Amino acid sequence: MRKRNGFTLIELMVTLAVAAILLTLGVPSFQYILQSNRVSTQTNELITGISGARSEAVRRNQDVLLVPIDGDWNRGFQIEVPALEDEDDEDDEFHVVRRFDTFGNGMDVTTTDANPITFAGRGSLTSGSGTPTITLQPERECRGDMRRVIEISASGSVQTTREACQ
């Protein structure tokens, strides 16, 4: 009798069943990792924008604003500086220095105050800004400590904390 190479139908079925079980266990945790990385990336992008606005205020020695796009932080934000009085463009009171279109679908961004965040020329917040807090979390299936809370102190420094989803 000749030796046959290959799998029998039973061996193939057992192998496929084991692979299906492993995928069933592995895919949900992989989705959690992807979602957690997305929250971290967007938190870092927001911190970059806050730090950039503060640095721009110090560099120019004037007020610089961090403004939500169309009044909605979920659409992104931009760094704005007041237009100079001697410029020809009378329609714009502010110039956009940099725009961040980071938040898109699937992320819920909320703030304690709808007003723009304003940094003074020394890098501190202006008196009208209070102590802004920005919260990011996935809109759907927020699990564990995926919620990020970003607080900006009166001096302009940024602190990020992880919290349980709500």
The pLDDT tens digits for 46-71 are: 999 999 999 999 999 999 999 998 88
Nearest to 68 by CA among 118, 27, 123: 118
Digit-coded pLDDT (tens) for 31-46: 888 888 888 888 999 9
Alpha helices in the chain (DSSP H): 9-60
Predicted TM-score (pTM) of the model is 0.77
φ, ψ at 112 (rounded to 5°): -80, -20
Domains in the chain and their CATH numbers?
A: 9-163 (3.55.40.10)
SS3 for 150?
Answer: strand
Question: Looking at residue 155, what DSSP letter applies?
Answer: T
Cβ-Cβ contacts under 8 Å for 46 (sequence gap 6 or more): 77, 100, 102, 134, 136, 150
